[in-house]
């Protein structure tokens, strides 16, 4: 895993110096080596920072040129089936004289022999790369199927720029980034900036599973095309759905075992120490179980624990590790230690990001990097196998209220929101049996009020995922209303498929995978997700509903497979997630920090957010009448990011498009 950057320009720049400066901003992604390659005739430069995982010798150095001399590549990520591709090329007498055993060299050989389209189709991996075709004078950008590896691109003046993180792009000469208010509104709504936007006007994210072509014309003028999808999760799914529809439970588990074992085995390939994150949940436990079954020595596993009621899952992970016989490391941290990392988050995440589980993820990455360079994880299991509790909740809620007339649902919502959460709690105290009070309270009633008057199931699910309402007017200026980037309505598909489709298209690549990538790469740790092997994912997408959710509980097939390796008693418990006690921290340990960021005079001077709304939320949260932790955290993470940018960022006029044409 590495960092890449590059540009095409017709400006009179010193190409080597410029690209080296951009690449050096990505030192944390690749501390082991660096390189650059320029084509002065067309004004193109490619830069690379290397984290050496495969072929630690100079033969793995990048940028790398193909044996035929036509292509030059910078690659971030891993091609897990590179040995299979190498053998295929050898068998067909289509291989060059191999210089080393890196996956980058194999990918270049595959592109030279088969072309980019087939090489992408044949490759199994996580990657973002830039490929310069010297003959066609075309630069190709490509990103893996699920967006595990990041890739930003856009225009700065007449120049085309790209990089693994925004900090590489803003290092380009005369970069003058402008905050896009529509992207900001989307970030505050969801807690992340959804693709294809970035927080900056004119800079976007290459969508997962896409290729972008940039042809360099006469005079070095870049002609930027539109991203083109080379893969979707629906590919071949209709045929596979028919095959799996009548399969018995044991054969489904057998098939998944084979596919997932194949993925784990491939992702355990590394020339450096390797381990795994272990939370004690279904996904990470299954990945570790398969790793241990494929290993001749104890797998290194890592967990962090918190001395906070309701937040510590370390004992469950330890029990699973003991059963599987792994070499387990755990680190218990205090609230103060966890809070200490918060000032570093804007630098680590580079773009405003407000999933508070970024804190424990960063901490476990730091601990893991002390022992290994590569760590496997269980990411993707919830989205692919229907694991989120909200899936059952959303379907139940819509079935109960969706058939009511709109006026009726709006009336119920008005009544529910009419009392404060604290007033509801007092009322429930005298009207509701004690055994029901844990499942219903004032905060949950207020949350329901924001959902039941939705116009459609799609609208309700988006609201369920939202922190700030889309129409709240928090971001000042015309055109600041966020645009929902993906529809969860699709040809009358079942509710579960609609929600999974949203999460696979948005939440997974722009929240979960961003969180893991930035946290891990901040300490030069490579992470891998076997559940996101596209063959495993395609199988999951084609599974019948009864193999995903039963009796309101998701990931049924994953549970049954895990039963073969770990006793159910060690796993079966309510899903806790990877959260932190942010609500309490904001009233105690973080109050002074938050107050400074939410200062009314500062908000007015910035001219981006409505000070009255922010301050009202802050007062209500401090008073304990409302729990606004999610909304406040998104504002605070943006404010902290904005402050960290200093004078490097200015504010775009309202109404601008958020990204290049997609």
Which residues are known to be catalytic? 2
What residues form DSSP beta bridges with 183? none
| Burial environment of residue 505 by CB neighbours within 10 A (0 to 12, 13 to 18, 19 or more) | buried
Full DSSP string of 101-164: --HHHHHHHHHHHH-HHHHHHH--EEEEEEEEETTTTEEEEEE-TT--S--EEEEETTEEEEES
Pairing relation of β-strands 138-143 and 125-133? antiparallel
Nearest to residue 225, comparing CAs of 241, 239, 210, 245?
210
Q: What share of the chain is helix, strand, coil (3-state, %, to 5)?
A: 45, 15, 35
Contact status, residue 521 vs residue 28, Cβ threshold 8 Å: yes
Beta strands in 16-120 (DSSP E): 33-39, 44-50, 64-65, 71-79
Contact status, residue 37 vs residue 139, Cβ threshold 8 Å: no
Cα-based distances in Å from 523 to 204, 364, 378: 25, 11, 20
d(CA 178, CA 160): 16
The 3 state secondary structure assigned to 514-536 is: HHHHHHHHCCCCEEECHHHCHHH
Full DSSP string of 416-484: HHHS-HHHHHHHHHHHS-GGGTTT--HHHHHHHHTTTT-SSHHHHHHHHH-SS-TTS--B-STT-S---
d(CA 530, CA 514): 17
């Amino acid at each position: 895993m590495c960092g890449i950057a590059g540009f095409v320009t017709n400006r009179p720049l010193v190409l080597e110096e410029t690209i080296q400066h951009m690449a050096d901003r990505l030192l944390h992604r690749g501390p082991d080596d660096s390189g650059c390659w320029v084509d002065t005739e067309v004004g193109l430069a490619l830069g690379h920072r290397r984290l050496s995982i495969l072929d630690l010798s100079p033969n793995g150095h990048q940028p790398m040129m193909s044996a035929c001399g036509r292509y030059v590549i910078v690659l971030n990520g891993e091609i897990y089936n590179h040995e299979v591709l190498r053998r295929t090329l050898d068998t067909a007498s289509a291989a060059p004289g191999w210089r080393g055993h890196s996956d980058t060299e194999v990918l270049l050989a595959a592109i030279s022999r088969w072309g980019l389209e087939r090489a992408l189709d044949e490759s199994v991996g996580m990657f973002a790369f830039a490929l310069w075709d010297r003959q066609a004078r075309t630069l190709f950008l490509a990103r893996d199927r699920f967006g595990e590896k990041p890739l930003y691109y856009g225009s700065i003046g007449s120049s085309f720029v790209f990089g693994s993180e925004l900090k590489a792009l803003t290092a380009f000469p005369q970069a003058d980034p402008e905050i896009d208010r529509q992207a900001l509104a989307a970030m505050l709504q969801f807690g992340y900036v959804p693709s294809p936007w970035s927080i900056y006007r004119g800079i976007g994210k290459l969508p997962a599973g896409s290729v972008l072509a940039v042809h360099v014309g006469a005079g070095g003028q870049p002609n930027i095309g539109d991203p083109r999808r080379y893969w979707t999760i629906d590919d071949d799914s209709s045929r596979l759905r028919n095959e799996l529809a009548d399969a018995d439970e044991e054969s489904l588990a057998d098939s998944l075992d084979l596919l997932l074992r194949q993925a784990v085995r491939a992702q355990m390939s590394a020339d450096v120490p390797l381990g795994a994150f272990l939370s004690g949940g279904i996904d990470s436990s299954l990945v570790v179980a398969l790793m241990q079954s494929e290993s001749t020595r104890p797998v290194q596993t890592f967990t962090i624990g918190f001395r906070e009621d309701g937040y510590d899952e370390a004992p469950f992970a330890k029990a699973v590790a003991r059963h599987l016989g792994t070499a387990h490391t755990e680190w218990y941290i205090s609230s103060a230690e966890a809070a200490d990392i918060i000032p570093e988050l804007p630098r680590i995440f580079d773009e405003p990001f407000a999933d508070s589980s970024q804190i424990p993820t960063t901490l476990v990455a730091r601990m893991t990097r002390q022992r290994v360079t590569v760590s496997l994880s269980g990411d993707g299991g919830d989205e692919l196998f229907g694991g989120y509790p909200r899936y059952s909740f959303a379907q139940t809620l819509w079935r109960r209220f969706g058939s009511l007339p709109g006026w009726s649902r709006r009336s119920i919502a008005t009544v529910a929101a009419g009392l404060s959460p604290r007033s509801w709690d007092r009322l429930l105290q005298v009207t509701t049996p004690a055994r029901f009070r844990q499942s219903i309270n004032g905060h949950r009633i207020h949350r329901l009020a924001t959902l039941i008057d939705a116009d459609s199931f799609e609208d309700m699910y988006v609201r369920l995922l939202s922190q700030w309402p889309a129409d709240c007017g928090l971001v000042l200026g015309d055109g600041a209303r966020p645009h929902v980037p993906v529809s969860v309505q699709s040809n009358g598909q079942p509710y579960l498929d609609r929600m999974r489709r949203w999460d696979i298209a948005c939440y997974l690549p722009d929240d979960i995978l961003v969180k893991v990538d930035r946290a891990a790469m901040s300490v030069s740790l490579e992470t891998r997700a076997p559940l996101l092997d596209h063959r495993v994912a395609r199988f999951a997408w084609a599974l019948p509903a009864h193999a995903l959710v039963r009796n309101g509980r998701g990931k049924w097939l994953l549970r049954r497979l895990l039963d073969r390796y770990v006793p159910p008693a060690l796993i079966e418990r309510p899903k806790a997630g990877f959260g932190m006690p942010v609500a309490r921290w904001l009233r105690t340990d973080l109050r002074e920090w938050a107050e400074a960021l939410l200062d009314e005079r500062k908000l007015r001077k910035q001219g981006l957010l409505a000070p009255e709304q922010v301050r009202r939320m802050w007062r209500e949260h401090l008073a304990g009448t409302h729990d606004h932790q999610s909304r406040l955290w998104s504002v605070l993470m943006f404010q902290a990011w904005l402050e960290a940018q200093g004078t490097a960022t200015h504010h775009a006029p309202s109404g601008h498009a958020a990204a290049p044409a997609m």
